[in-house]
Copies of this chain bind each other. A is one copy, B any other.
Amino acid sequence: MTTQTKEKIINGVNTTQLRENINAVKTDAGLADFKFKALNKWNNGAHNQFTIDEFYGLKNTLRHKQAFVHDCSEPQELLGEDNGTNPVEYVLGGLSGCMTTTLAYYSALAGKNIEKISSEYEGDIDLQGFLGVRDDVNKGYNEIRVKFKVKGDVTEEEIKAIVKNSPVYDTLVRPIKIKIEVEKE
């Protein structure tokens, strides 16, 4: 005889499974170690492609159902051929996906239904930095502004607090250590 657990789905999130995962991680922290990966190949000029396929989690090498390939490019104003989203835009896109999913998951765990989420992201870059015109200007984003519009059983204050748990948000507001190795062919 099998005991059938009735799974509780809120906001499209299986909260029964999510709670099981949280409990599993509480008894075996190794299950929480994830490593994400990207491979990049340069085409020419501002055009290159990154591929997302393998990752590591649950103590195993895992794969997506299919490899996802994305083009990076620059618009003509930045001397590219505009073959795709530019790298700094991908960062805003990743932030957008992460804050949105965090809101859906955390609200689901709290038993709160959400009907709609949309959001806008804007980040400032002063190209005097990248172009080497001024040493005292940052090369990356100076500030990022986010506007959420949400329909559901969460208050403005709850939303503001929840979205700060996003892993990409946390990655951006903290300094991250990046180690670089180079091999010449």
Contact = CB atoms under 8 A, between A and B. Distances in A.
Contacts of A140: 166-172, 174, 176
A70 B114 CA distance: 22
A50 B97 contact: yes
B72 A97 contact: yes
A84 B104 contact: no
A156 B179 contact: no
A172 B172 contact: yes
A22 B132 contact: yes
Interface string A120-143: 111111111111110000111111
Interface residues of A, number: 125
A59 to B, nearest CB: 11
A130 B18 contact: no
A179 to B, nearest CB: 5
B181 A48 contact: no
A167 B12 contact: no
14 contacts: A13-B79, A17-B79, A32-B127, A38-B95, A38-B120, A39-B119, A40-B97, A46-B101, A50-B96, A87-B166, A141-B167, A150-B184, A169-B178, A172-B178
